Amino acid sequence: MAAKPISLLWLALPVFICLWTSQVHAARWQDHRTAALRAVEQADYAKAIEQFGAAIYYAQKLPAADRDIAGLWENLTAVYLADAQLDRAWESIGHWNKVLVANAGQPWVAEQQSLLDRMTRILFKETRMVGGEGAGEETPTGDLSPEPGLKPAESPSLALAPAEGQAPNGAQPTVGPGAYGIHLASYGSEANARQGWAVLQARYPDLLEDKTFALRPVDLGDRGVFVRLIAVPFPDSPSAGTACRDLQHRAQYCAVVPPG
């Protein structure tokens, strides 16, 4: 007769272990977050980054913790920005955005999306990358300088980009035969352009998740050499134009690139 209670105990044991583990993880992520915030107050950014990373690790082990995880990515992005680790800040923005995309429709996402957009604008300004809040007519001062003259679209109107050589200074790129593309941004180096693609693809998965990218260098003379980031392929001009209009409505620079 004693075997039955023992069997029930064994059946219940995994449940107790799961509950205990969840409590441990909840306590640990909160402890690490507290330590991280304390480190931020002391301007100890290295420790803050370490502690926020640990907090994210434990929070990801909890069910229904995405809102907290988004907040942690927000905090970590801000610390990377404060510590001038801009590459890491862009990586953090990408992870943060993925959490928001996975929780689209949840009431808390709108506020987080607003914060992410604000942080993205700050990062675009800090790194002087074109495609967010454009930096305007600037003289290249380093690897992350923007291509002069590219700014976010001010209206949803769309102009078809002419083929290479039809615009002054080679100002418009082209893509391979038969395929249209959309020019999203310009960067001071190929490495930064590749990183920019990862960020933009994560930010606009509905439009770019099934796309790849092409890089096109352009020499603007005394204004500098830039690498253009082009999302491909689009089967025709109307489909590329539709994607561009959608991006322009979201304040993202975009221009259709014809095959060539």
pLDDT digits (tens, 9 = 90+) for 22-46: 788 788 889 999 999 999 888 888 9
Query: Is the per-residue pLDDT at 259 higher than 60?
Result: yes
pLDDT of residue 53: 92
pLDDT of residue 47: 93
Domain, as residue range, for 239:
168-257
Q: Of 69, 94, 127, at which residue does a domain stop?
A: 127
139 is a domain residue: no
141 is a domain residue: no
- The model's pTM is 0.51
Section 240-250 average pLDDT:
87
Q: Of 111, 127, 143, at which residue does a domain stop?
A: 127
What is the CATH classification number for the domain harbouring 220?
3.30.70.1070
pLDDT of residue 160: 28
C-alpha 219/C-alpha 156 separation (Å) is: 28
Judge if 174 and 97 occupy the same domain: no
Cβ-count burial 89-124 (b if 16+ within 10 Å, e if not): bbbbbbbbbebbbebeeeeebeebbebbbebbebbb
95 is a domain residue: yes
pLDDT of residue 72: 93
pLDDT of residue 201: 86
> Quick check: bond before 217 cis, omega within 30?
no
153 is a domain residue: no
pLDDT digits (tens, 9 = 90+) for 129-138: 434 323 332 2
55 is a domain residue: yes
Query: Is the per-residue pLDDT at 163 higher than 50?
Result: no
Query: Is the per-residue pLDDT at 221 higher than 50?
Result: yes
Q: Estimate the share of the chain in helix, then strand, then coil, as percent rounded to the nearest 5.
A: 55, 10, 30
Judge if 180 and 121 occupy the same domain: no
Q: Of 105, 127, 149, at which residue does a domain stop?
A: 127
Reported as a pLDDT band with limits 50, 70 and 90, residue 1 is very low
Q: How many CB atoms lie within 10 A of CB 24?
A: 12
87 is a domain residue: yes
Q: How many CB atoms lie within 10 A of CB 81?
A: 19
pLDDT of residue 56: 93
pLDDT digits (tens, 9 = 90+) for 74-91: 999 999 888 888 778 888
Query: Is the per-residue pLDDT at 250 higher than 60?
Result: yes
52 is a domain residue: yes
Q: How many CB atoms lie within 10 A of CB 56?
A: 22
56 is a domain residue: yes
Q: How many domains does the chain have?
A: 2
What is the CATH classification number for the domain harbouring 45?
1.25.40.10
Judge if 24 and 75 occupy the same domain: yes
